Structure formats: C-alpha cells, structure tokens
Structure 1
Amino acid sequence: MELNVLLYKLLLLSLFWVSASATNSSLSINFYATSCPTAELMVKNTVKSASESDPKIPGRLLRLLFHDCMVEGCDGSVLLEGNGTERTDPANGSLGGFAVVESAKKLLEFFCPETVSCADILALAARDAVVFAGGPMIQIPTGRRDGKVSSASNVRGNIIDTNFGLDEMVQIFSSKGLSLDDLVILSGAHTIGSAHCNTIRDRFQVDPKGNMTLIDTSLDKMYALKLLKQCPVGGSASITINNDPETSFKFDNQYYKNLVSHQGLFQSDSVLFSDERTKTKVVELSNSQDSFFQNWTSSFVKLTSMGVKTDNEGEIRRLCQSLNG
C-alpha cells in the first residue's frame, strides 16, 4: 500500500515537471507581468503617438510583422541591419515602421533593461496598430526571443509576391502551418497600407496614344483607369497608392468588398475572389465585418506564434537593429 502511494506521488511529481517544462517552453499571456508589468502599455503608447503623427504607421507596422514572421519565424530578424541581412533584399526595401519599434525598445530598455525582446515589441506593435486603425483588440501571448540569423537569401522563397497565383501562395502558407482560410483572412491586412506603383504595372498596358488594355482581365476597368492616373506611365518610382481606395486608413472589411467588385490592387488579391477555392470565404468576410474580426483574431495569433524562439534560444537584444556584442 505504501509502495502504491509512493509510486502515485512520483507519478504526480513527474507530471508536474512535464507540465512546467511545457509551459516554460511556450509563449504565455502576460509573460512580462512580473519582470516588466507595463511593457505592453509602453509599446501601446509608443504606437499610439506615432500613429497620431502619421496615419500610415499602422499599415507599415503590420506589413513589417508579416515580413518578419514569414522568414525565420517571428523573431525580429527583419529588424537587423548590416550587409546581407533580410533588410537588404529588394523585397524588403520599402518596409517601414522600424523607428517605432526602436522607440519602444529604447523606452523599455530604460525601465526594464534586457527584458523585453524586439520580436515581442514588433508583435505587440502590429497588434496595437490594428486597434488604432479601427480593428479588434487581441490578447496575444508573449515570451519570444530575438533570432541571431538574418539572411537576404532566405527572403524570396518565403515572401508572397504581388503577382502570385493562388497555388504559389498556398504553398508558402502551408509550409508555415497556415491554412487556406488563414491565407484569405490574413490577406485582409491589405485593408490598410500602401504600395509602390511598380507593383501593379503588369496588370495593364498603355499604347503610345495613351490607350489602356487590361492584361489582368479580372480587374475592373474603371478602377484600372483610376490606378493609371495615380501611376502614370513614366511616373516616379517613389509614387505610392493606397491598398484600399475606399477606406484607406481604416481597418475594416472593405478589402473584401473591393475584391467582390473586382477592385483588388494586386493580382494576389484578385485571385482570392476569382478562384473557387477561396471565393466563398471572401464573400463571407465581405458580408460581415464581425466575421472578419473574429476570423482575424484567430489567424493573427497563429501568425505571430510561427517559428518563435523561446527559453535559451536566441537572445534579448539591447538594440533591435544589431546583435548583442
């Protein structure tokens, strides 16, 4: 009898250690509750101030997060500067929002030195950016550590290009553990933000007389003419256009309404409505902003949890743009 009791206690003890180990090796809600209780508030206030000064900040932070998480996981590797880093690849040349992350990091290093990772700051900043643009508030787990690897050669095979078809996008998303629905839902990030004109020039062509011909016939012709006015042939490469022509700085489900109206800015947007595999989901989200917000909450948590470093992996950088010396 005493032996059975002893074995039972040993079993409980072993289960406790397994449970504790699993908890320590994963992200958790309020990870900084003891080590830096105001961490999330400091990030939130930094994003709020930046967004009030520049309404383009939310879109930039959200895009920055995507480009971080899709390469090496959500580990802040896109923030590193230097020869051959992810930031040097042309696909990342137009990224913005770095200064906001650095501002939050500087503040956190003053109050909680070497405690809050740049990867967590970026994930929280993108989360808060969506809120300040009118989107849903999401509680996300924290505890990410910063990666030590950032290579430009890893970028192209992991980033969605604006001229991709559905199969190409599905291949990349599925390799990250993201579903077809996640692809449609997370593409809704294009409800805010902007793009350079060269990303859409292959959707139509203009003859010497100025007459336009649609190359991508899924594009609404009147919308294409508006795009042509904003992005004239021979115009400056620095000209940008809003992803969503209707509610440019508001995080809402207008993106999906645009797709149904054949007014997706990119080919990678338009294909979501033209392909039967994703069309039903697009229509559902176009009809209900509540449905979009509910779906976004789930998919965003999945996105920000991809390939994270925890425990003894990586480091907590003192500066987001450089590894600890």
Structure 2
Amino acid sequence: MLEVGVYIVCMKMAATLGSLMILVMTLGVQAQLKTGFYSTTCPSAEAIIRSTVVSYFNKDPTIAPGLLRLHFHDCFVQGCDGSILIAGSSAEKNALPNLGLRGFEVIDDAKSQIEATCPGVVSCADILALAARDAVDLSDGPSWPVPTGRRDGKISLSSQASNLPSPLDPVSIQRQKFAAKGLDDHDLVTLVGQTDCTFFSYRLYNYTTSGRADPTINVGFLAQLQALCPKGGDGLRRVGLDKDSSAKFDVSFFKNVRDGNGVLESDQRLWEDSATQRVVQNYAGNIRGLLGLRFDFEFPKAMIKLSSIEVKTGVDGEIRKVCSKFN
C-alpha cells in the first residue's frame, strides 16, 4: 500500500475548543485555494508536473510513496508551503524525522521546466501537492482535482519539525498531533512506503530495554525483519512498511496491522486503540472490490484537507525561483 508520510491514522477529532478553532481556520484557508488556479497564468503547469512524475515513476516506481511522504512532512511543519524543500544545514529537511525523505529531484525538475515556460508564477508548494496526487494515481490509486494557489514559505528550520508524528508515538499522541492540524477520524492518510531500520530496530532486539523483541510482532514477520535489519547492521537500509504491496495503492496495510505485521510501532498500536482498531478492521475485513471503492472515495477528501493545512495565499510568502532556496 502506498503510505503517506509517516503514519496512517483515522482518529476522532478532539472535542476541545482549541481543536475546533484550528479546524475552522484550516477550512477558511482552504476556501482561498481553488482548482485550476493556474488555468490562465500557466495553463501547462499541471501537465508539466504530471509528465515529470511519470518520467521518474517509469524509472523507479518507489518514487511514488516518496513524493507522498514528502508532501505529508511538508504540511505538518509550517503548513503546506514547500519549507521541506529548502537546502541548508539548519533547514527543515535535515531534522531527524525527515531523514530518508525522497523526491526532491522530481520537484526541482518540474519547477525548472515550469520556470522556463511561466517564470515566477507557480509555487513549489503547489508543485509538491500536485506531484503527490499524480504519484497516487500512477500507483493504481484515485485521482482528484487539487485546489491550488499556495505560496512558498520563507522559514525552514529543523528545530520546528518536532510536531511531526513519530514512530514511537502512542495513538493518543498521534491523535493529538493530527487533531492540532484539523484532521479527524475519517482523515485517512497513508504513510510512506519505506522507512529505515533505524526507526524500528529497537522493536526487533531490545523492546522497552528488555533485550527481547516486541511481543506484538507476528513471529514469522519478526524473522523477516531481523533478516532485513540484522543487529548492528546498516541502520539506513530501507524497508517497506507494507510487506505485501509497497508499490501499490491498496488496503493491504490495514491487513498487515490487523495480523501483527506493522513495521513501525506507531502503526501496530492502531490495533490496540479501540477507536482506531474499528477503522482498521473496517478497511481490512472486506474484499478489494467493496473496500477499494470506499477507500478510494475517502482518500481524496482527506488529501485535500491535508494539503490545505496552514497554507499561505494572496500576498503571504513568495513564489520561489528555485525550490531549494529562498528568493
């Protein structure tokens, strides 16, 4: 299953005034975006982005979950403003949770082509949002009209990445982090298709400093993970979060979690929380025909909501000439 960024979570919205205010503000900003924002100023923009993603996808299909994760991580820090794309030792992309992010070259390539056609018009933040949509579509997932009009942020600091969901987060903390962004129970966001051994090897050899493996891991799957990530081995080796179809957009991720085959602890804990377990079971327990239709319907709605988090529009921010540096 194509997985977004670090975590699939379907959670209940925290019923607090603060969360409701955040949701209202998020929806208000979303209304400032519109589908076809560049239809007159740069009508070829979406086609250029699509062809660029197709070109990279044909060479390496695993770039698709990479682009999805890149967009997810961008939106959780400073909002969906392309801040993750900035290069520099203290920039957001160098924060620990962002190690292993992929797809920067795809966005840079698309931006270069667009600048040659429509200089100073299309933001890097919009290119990233559109590329994420195309990545899902190319992986046998749904497509959807992406509201555009985002502008690029002028701040990118690794120190601000602490609010990203962590593989170590219990469901309660994941719920808080998603609610703080106006995301509720039915905002199904997929996680990145790959992670590094560093982020889960403790589950294989020394869970809770016990010297043993996490007992919630399926025994057969534990052996597979230990073979991929041997004790004392390369912590940066990539491992698919979905052992059955990491390059496809489908629902097998939920079946893996149900069956004790979740790679990240934060994923597997979804089965232990009563609210999120019901959602996982609903998606895991049906045949692809019925389940796929429901999943494909819910996912675009959640992605539109995700990609509207704290966006900058109007005169806020800037339109970068190069995505990796401020103007």
Same fold (TM over 0.5): yes
1:320 aligns with 2:323: yes
Residue 34 to residue 274, structure 1, CA distance change in 2 (3 Å): same
- Write the distance in 2 (CA, Å) between the matches of 1:46 and 1:232: 37
- 1:1-325 superposed matches below 5 A: 26-156=32-162, 158-182=163-187, 185-186=188-189, 188-190=190-192, 193-205=193-205, 213-215=212-214, 217-286=215-284, 287=286, 288-324=291-327
Scaled by the length of structure 2, the TM-score of the pair is 0.86
Given that residues 246 and 254 in structure 1 are in contact (C-alpha distance below 8 angstroms), is that contact kept between their aligned partners in structure 2?
Answer: yes
SS in 2 for 1:241: strand
Residue 129 to residue 227, structure 1, CA distance change in 2 (3 Å): same
SS in 1 for 2:280: helix
Given that residues 218 and 274 in structure 1 are in contact (C-alpha distance below 8 angstroms), is that contact kept between their aligned partners in structure 2?
Answer: no
Q: Which has the higher contact order (CA 8 A, sep 6+)?
A: 2
After superposing on structure 2, the runs of 4+ consecutive aligned residues of structure 1 that deviate more than 6 Å are 22-25
Given that residues 205 and 231 in structure 2 are in contact (C-alpha distance below 8 angstroms), is that contact kept between their aligned partners in structure 1?
Answer: no
Given that residues 25 and 310 in structure 1 are in contact (C-alpha distance below 8 angstroms), is that contact kept between their aligned partners in structure 2?
Answer: no
Residue 275 to residue 23, structure 1, CA distance change in 2 (3 Å): closer
Higher alpha-carbon deviation: 271-280 or 30-39: 271-280
Structure number with greater Rg is 1
| Count of residue pairs the alignment pairs up | 292
Kindly state the Cα deviation for residue 137 of structure 1 after the two structures are TM-superposed. 0.5
CA RMSD of the aligned region, Å?
A: 1.8
The code of the aligned residue for 2:89 comes to N
Higher alpha-carbon deviation: 22-31 or 37-46: 22-31
- Where does the alignment leave 5 or more consecutive residues of structure 1 unmatched? 1-21, 207-211
- Write the distance in 2 (CA, Å) between the matches of 1:195 and 1:189: 10
- Write the distance in 1 (CA, Å) between the matches of 2:93 and 2:138: 26
Kindly state the Cα deviation for residue 144 of structure 1 after the two structures are TM-superposed. 0.3
Scaled by the length of structure 1, the TM-score of the pair is 0.86
TM-superposition CA deviations, 1:88-133 (whole Å, max 9, x none): 2122121110000000000000011100000000000011001111
Kindly state the Cα deviation for residue 78 of structure 1 after the two structures are TM-superposed. 0.6
Kindly state the Cα deviation for residue 23 of structure 1 after the two structures are TM-superposed. 10
Given that residues 25 and 311 in structure 1 are in contact (C-alpha distance below 8 angstroms), is that contact kept between their aligned partners in structure 2?
Answer: no
SS in 1 for 2:186: helix
